[in-house]
Amino acid sequence: MGELRWHPLLGQWVVVASHRQERTYKPPAEFCPLCPTRDPAHPTEIPDEDWDIAVFENRFPSFVETPPPPQVAGTALSPVAPAQGICEVVVYSPDHDRTLAEQSVEHIRKLVEVWAHRYEELGRRPFVRYVMIFENRGEAVGVTLHHPHGQIYAFPFVPPIPQQELAHAREHHERTGRCLLCDVLAEERAAAAASAPGGDRRPGRIVVENDDFVVFVPFFARFPYETMLLPRRHVGSLLELGDAERWHLAEALKGILARYDALFGLRMPYMMVMHQAPMDRPVGGYPECHFHIEFLPIQRAPSKLKYLAGSESGAGTFITDATPEEMARQLRRAGERLGGVGGVAR
């Protein structure tokens, strides 16, 4: 039902998954496959009512554990490979309407545990090279099931974007002996400290911070209101976080997600993408890798979306319509209206 095909011009795998064309598409709420089964005549994906967070294999997966052999022969320029991997769905709660931002910190803390467990568990499979935990949120991002949920893709290769990030981090590490993202964070903190006080009481691009995490609009943001969530401590994945850090991660997550929804008074469409170390070495085996979560919203104004058109999709160059400094200022204002949930920039 699919295979990987090599793109010889771009040097990357493309996943052909033709069975996904027929995936469940925006069913009405009463037929939601992600709600708990309440009536045995209408079974859902989750045959139980008593749970906090549910994880199961995607019924329309891009990768499967035992894929059929490729349906086509590869060529000299374009080899093919089985689409071996695992795709999971993470249903955030039984509540069909409650988004991640609206969950309690206690609930998000449980989700952090689930993520760490799945990252470790999936990463242990010998055919898995990279585990990506992510969420597509909102119809504008292409969500076809409205019940709040995230996804996990266990890839049989390190995908291009994490691969590029790791390559640049490795180069920096070899050259300086330091972690690239530790240095980015130091620059962000210096920029915040150095800004002249004035109209804006909390300067710089930092939006949320607590004892263990900082969320900021990167100086080099590509998406509108893009933020990056970083642990202050240099760790490669969720697995290296202690109990207090996991609580602070839950708090910082709620902090930034609540600001997104408050920014325009609408549920912000975004992609949330977790970057952790590849899984082919033991914990700590990628010293250049600094765990982080990227939030990539696509709403550039209350009634305008950002599209990835010719420049972005055709050339690979992103154009932003606002400065990162202005984006951060607006997100901080939204945070003030919320009473500083999750921690304010210090």
Look at the alpha carbons of 236, 241, 246, 249 in this order and tell me if their dihedral is positive or negative: negative
Alpha-carbon distance of 86 to 84, in angstroms, equals 7
Q: Smallest distance from the beta carbon of 221 to a second copy, in angstroms?
A: 7
Catalytic residue, from 149, 173, 248, 275: name it: 149
Nearer to a second copy, 64 or 344 (CB): 64
Q: Is 269 helix (H, G, I), strand (E, B) or coil?
A: coil
Length of the chain: 346
Binding to a second copy (CB under 8 A) within 259-278 occurs at 271, 273
Question: How many other C-beta atoms are found inside a 10 Å radius of the C-beta of residue 127?
Answer: 15
Of residues 76 through 105, those in contact with a second copy by CB under 8 A are 76-78
Angle, nearest 10°, between helix axes 105-123 and 243-264?
120
Shorter beta-carbon distance to a second copy: residue 168 or 201: 168
The residues facing 6 across adjacent strands are: 13
Would you tell me how many other CB atoms lie within 10 Å of the CB of residue 192? 19
Site for a second copy, residues 146 to 205, rule: CB under 8 A: 151, 153, 155, 159-165, 167-169, 172, 180-181, 183-184, 187, 191
Contact region for a second copy (CB under 8 A) — 38-46, 220-228, 255-263, 279-287?
A: 220-228
Q: Does residue 320 touch a second copy according to CB under 8 A?
A: yes
Q: How far is the CB of 195 from a second copy (least distance, A)?
A: 11
Position among 134, 216, 260, 291 found at the interface with a second copy (CB under 8 A): 134
Q: How far is the CB of 223 from a second copy (least distance, A)?
A: 8
By CB under 8 A, tell whether 57 contacts a second copy. no
CA 202 to chain centre: 27
Nearer to a second copy, 131 or 262 (CB): 131
Contact 21, 114 (CB under 8 A): no
For the question of residue 107 being annotated catalytic, the response is no
Is residue 210 within 8 Å of 252, Cβ to Cβ?
yes
Identity of residue 68:
P
Q: How many CA atoms lie within 13 A of 16 on its CB side?
A: 16
Q: Which of 15, 81, 105, 239 binds a second copy (CB under 8 A)?
A: 15
Is 125 near a second copy (CB under 8 A)?
no
CA distance 314 to 335: 36
Q: State which of residues 324, 335, 342, 343 lies at the interface with a second copy (CB under 8 A).
A: 324
By CB under 8 A, name the one of 28, 40, 199, 314 that touches a second copy.
314
Q: Is 301 in the site for a second copy (CB under 8 A)?
A: yes
Among 258, 294, 331, 341, binds a second copy (CB under 8 A): 294
CA atoms within 13 A on the CB side of 191: 16
Active-site amino acid positions: 149
